[in-house]
Amino acid sequence: MTKALKTLIVDDEPLARRIIRRLLKDEPRVESIVEARNGDEAFELIQQISPDIVYLDIQMPGTNGFEMLEKLHDAKIAAMPVIIFVTAFDEYALKAFEYHALDYLLKPFDRERFKKSFELAVKLISAGNQVDYQQKLAQLLDNLQPKTEYLEWVSVKKDDAISLFKIGDIRWIEAQGNYVLLNLDNDITQLLREKMDALEKKIDPQKFVRIHRSAIINVNFIKEIEVWGRGEHKIAMTDGKTFPVSRTYRNNFDNFIDKRVL
């Protein structure tokens, strides 16, 4: 017998939420129905109430459906709810959903289509093993989210010549006013006319992490991490340079390490 189900409806349109709520009220297996108007509200509610099924709109102002799921993934939610996407996307564009065996409701939908979707979710929950579903959801997000392209080279002009350096060869970056100082693997330093905030957005966050208002490091060149009292960190690089991790960027560094280091 299926347990009493907790459901969450996420949609910025009141009418859309009202339609789904009315259909869920006719289902005796549903214990509770909660609503969220956007991805941010949904993110908080999912952590608070642990719903079994989430009816998730994709296009919403602010945090959209995909971005909300990414936030849940990053927050390391132990048990993700079953996601039923609710969307006005063209049906042909939704072949990706079908390929990954995740259900969706294409607006406008009828009672029969809603019932079919609900029963699929109940079947998955009743089976008690959602590992395969979790993997497919992660794969779906990976395929549908646009890939950000990061810089591969940086050019530095000196006199009448332009030198090219691989981004991956940069050990660390220090802010110098409206410039940044680049330290390269071959012990070359280069001054580049670029502000730190702008450069940070252009380089791969899988390799580079900001640890201070004026410092970004390439984790491939970390020699060791010194941990002091009160959780303070000091980073020693392979070239002998050391950097403190400022309080402002401590969580940023800790999250980076937690995701990528065993």
Which domains, ranges and CATH numbers included, belong to the chain?
5-144 (3.40.50.2300), 153-260 (2.40.50.1020)
Q: Which helix (H) or strand (E) holds 65?
A: helix 65-74
The predicted-structure confidence for 136-157, as pLDDT tens digits, reads as follows 666 666 655 555 688 999 888 7
The predicted-structure confidence for 7-50, as pLDDT tens digits, reads as follows 999 999 999 999 999 999 999 999 999 999 999 999 999 999 99
pTM metric for this prediction = 0.53
Look at residues 167, 199, 161 and name the one whose alpha carbon lies nearest to residue 183: 167
User: Both tokens of residue 113?
Assistant: 């289509």
pLDDT: which is higher, 247 or 173: 173
In 3-state terms the chain splits into helix, strand, coil percentages (rounded to 5) of 40, 30, 30
Q: Is the pLDDT of residue 188 over 70?
A: yes
Report the SS3 class of residue 102. Answer: coil
What CA dihedral angle connects 255, 258, 260 and 262, to 10 degrees? 170
User: Both tokens of residue 227?
Assistant: 């941990």
